[in-house]
Amino acid sequence: MTVFDEASSRSTTRELWFARNATCPGHVTQLLHFIVAFLLVAGHGALAAPCQFEAQGEARVAAIVDGRSVRLDDGREIRLAGIEPTATTKQALTSFLVGRDVVLRSTDDTPDRYGRQGALVFVGENDTSVQALLLAQGSALVSAEITDKDCAAALMAWEAEARRQKWAAGLTRRP
């Protein structure tokens, strides 16, 4: 066996990572990622603080409409402010939010032309938004439409951290 054959027969770290995670059901893996992201975000309260707007109400999440919208038990549809969804956003929201009590925070409670209220969503009395959790685990991107500069900077910091972690883990290839 040549050195080349020996080197090519070894499993790469990436292959081992995928093999290990392939044995775990997708929703369990997604929930674990969400919990890890929550713990990371909870430890950085200073980054979450700029997004603490006026409370616009509380409710229970009844359903996930799409990667950017949730329906509450009182019939309101909430558009998650500050983020753009990715392919995994809806699955992450479904595994984490359905049936949970949430607090809505926003500078304005006026609905958009589709009747959705834009807001940052917080689970219970937590100081960290669902948007920050999605960004920290790499399940969303920061929207260019967020108007509060301090909140936008905090959300961009979470997205940047998720990107660094993906690069470090070898989950993303450089072009």
The pLDDT score that the predictor gives to residue 113 is: 93
pTM equals: 0.66
DSSP state of 129: B
- Give the dihedral of Cα atoms 128, 72, 98, 160; nearest 10 deg: -30
pLDDT in tens, the chain (175 residues): 554 555 555 555 555 445 555 555 555 555 555 555 555 544 444 444 678 888 889 999 999 999 999 999 999 999 999 999 999 999 999 998 999 999 999 988 889 999 999 999 999 878 888 999 999 888 999 998 888 889 889 999 988 888 887 766 665 555 5
Q: Mention every residue, 6+ apart, whose C-beta is less than 8 A from residue 45.
A: 127, 128
The pLDDT score that the predictor gives to residue 47 is: 43
Q: Mention every residue, 6+ apart, whose C-beta is less than 8 A from residue 135.
A: 83, 141, 142, 155, 158, 159, 162
CATH class of this structure's domain 23-168: mainly beta
Q: Where are the domains of the chain?
A: 23-168
The pLDDT score that the predictor gives to residue 46 is: 44
- Measured between alpha carbons, how far is 123 from 133 in angstroms, rounded to an integer? 11
